[in-house]
Amino acid sequence: SVFLPFVSPLKINEPPLLPATISNTPLIFPIDTGSTGILLGHPKLPFLNTTGYPPAHSYLSSSNLLYAGSLVPLTLTFIASTTATSTVPVLIVDAKTHCPWYNPLTDAGTCPPNPSNHSDTGTALPTAGISYMGVGFGRNTGDGEQPKAIPAANPFLNLDSVDDIPVDSGAWHTGYILNTTGVTLGLTPNNTEDFAWAMLEPGTTHAEDPRDWAMPSMCVRVNDEAEDCGAALIDTGIAQMYLRRAVGRVTPNHTLSKPMRRRVDDGVKIAVDFLSSEGVGEKKEVVVGYEFVVGEGSKMEPVFVVPETQKEGKARVPFVNTGRGFLLGYEVAFDAIGGRFGFK
């Protein structure tokens, strides 16, 4: 296994940062478990000719940002006490657009005119500062937001070499462990022995790539009401929590005036249990859980909670994005070979 330390220990208000080089160019990447694949502004590698490479895009709904450019295979070098290399397709971004009305299922990588103001085609933003490393799993959910979010795009799952020695795929157990200080690439009996494991369901492209697994299962309770069960995401990319309950369930909330945003009220109790996919219904095993009261400032509490109200006829499965605060209480591990997610 290889340990790669973050630039500084994880804090609630900023994503963890990891140094790497591409073509001898030093780069700093925010590490995001809420997406899969690398985004890099073309000005970061101005010498790179992307002519002839396939067009690609990624839409991050939490920020309403659309990234478009070309998908180019590149080798990253992680330099710590050990050196590791990984070759993955990188989205070299030539256009970044703020486009809140973008529909990932129909708009195919281009920001359409604003339905309420046809002269508005989104806000073009500079690409020079873009560097983003998505290392999450289960993010290619068929909603069109991240069509290239497959295991082959995850640099943590595609190591070529460690200290200039080629990685033996038969001996190397693909996966990673994340904590507040850094990431460990490669799982061993020693580094995983104290984890509690949730089994995962196969992901969208599991038949083509057996390393593709769905997000972990969870049940969430609000103020001791009946629980809502669905999928969970532990997302190092954001400080807040997103909470989507079943149709008809309302979490007490208020609206901020500038900007117009909804927030869950202080005093609301939220409890999340992570489940193993083994068993059905009541037989599902709770692996670990945590709870907090909004506004009390406990260690794992997100900076705020955003409620999502479900509409009849457009219902989606309940969902909790914990934000990065969860990592202030637990280490997590993703076993890409065994289809397991671990907590410690």
pTM of the entire predicted model: 0.93
CA dist list (Å): 103 to 114, 197, 204, 338: 11, 35, 20, 34
Q: Which of 147, 127, 131, 143 is nearest to 36 (CA)?
A: 147
What is the rounded distance in angstroms from the CA atom of residue 338 to the CA atom of residue 174?
9
Q: Domains plus CATH for the chain?
A: 2-184 (2.40.70), 217-343 (2.40.70)
Q: List pLDDT tens digits, range 268-288.
A: 999 999 998 765 556 678 999
More confident residue, 140 or 115: 115
pLDDT for residue 300 is more than 90: yes
More confident residue, 104 or 21: 21
* Contact predicate 38/219, CB 8 Å: no
Pairing of strands 36-41, 83-98: parallel
* Contact predicate 149/137, CB 8 Å: no
- Mean pLDDT (whole number) for 157-163: 97
- CA Rg value for the chain: 20
What is the rounded distance in angstroms from the CA atom of residue 306 to the CA atom of residue 201?
27
Q: Dig out the tokens for 23 from the structure.
A: 């073509």
pLDDT for residue 320 is more than 90: yes
Q: Which residue has the tokens 């890409």?
A: 336
* Contact predicate 197/117, CB 8 Å: no
Q: List pLDDT tens digits, range 207-240.
A: 999 999 999 999 999 998 999 999 999 999 999 9
CB atoms closer than 10 angstroms to residue 122: 21
* Contact predicate 213/338, CB 8 Å: no
* Confidence tier at 145 by pLDDT (50, 70, 90): low
* Confidence tier at 243 by pLDDT (50, 70, 90): very high
pLDDT for residue 259 is more than 80: no
**pLDDT (0 to 100) of residue 147:** 66
Q: List pLDDT tens digits, range 322-332.
A: 999 999 999 99
Q: List pLDDT tens digits, range 35-45.
A: 999 999 999 99
Counting beta carbons within 10 angstroms of the beta carbon of residue 308, is it exposed (0 to 12), middle (13 to 18) or buried (19 or more)? middle
Q: List pLDDT tens digits, range 73-124.
A: 999 999 999 999 999 999 999 999 999 999 988 998 999 999 999 999 999 9
More confident residue, 16 or 260: 16
Q: Which residue has the tokens 């095993």?
A: 285
**pLDDT (0 to 100) of residue 202:** 95
Q: Which of 15, 14, 37, 41 is nearest to 27 (CA)?
A: 41
* Contact predicate 110/69, CB 8 Å: no
Q: Which residues contact 181 (CB under 8 A, 6 or more apart)?
A: 5, 6, 9, 10
Q: Which residues of 189-223 are buried (b: 16+ CB within 10 A; e: fewer)?
A: eebbeebbbbbbeebbebeeeebbbbbbbbbbbbe
Q: List pLDDT tens digits, range 176-201.
A: 999 999 999 999 999 999 999 999 99
**pLDDT (0 to 100) of residue 261:** 87
pLDDT for residue 169 is more than 90: no
Percentage of the chain surpassing pLDDT 90?
85
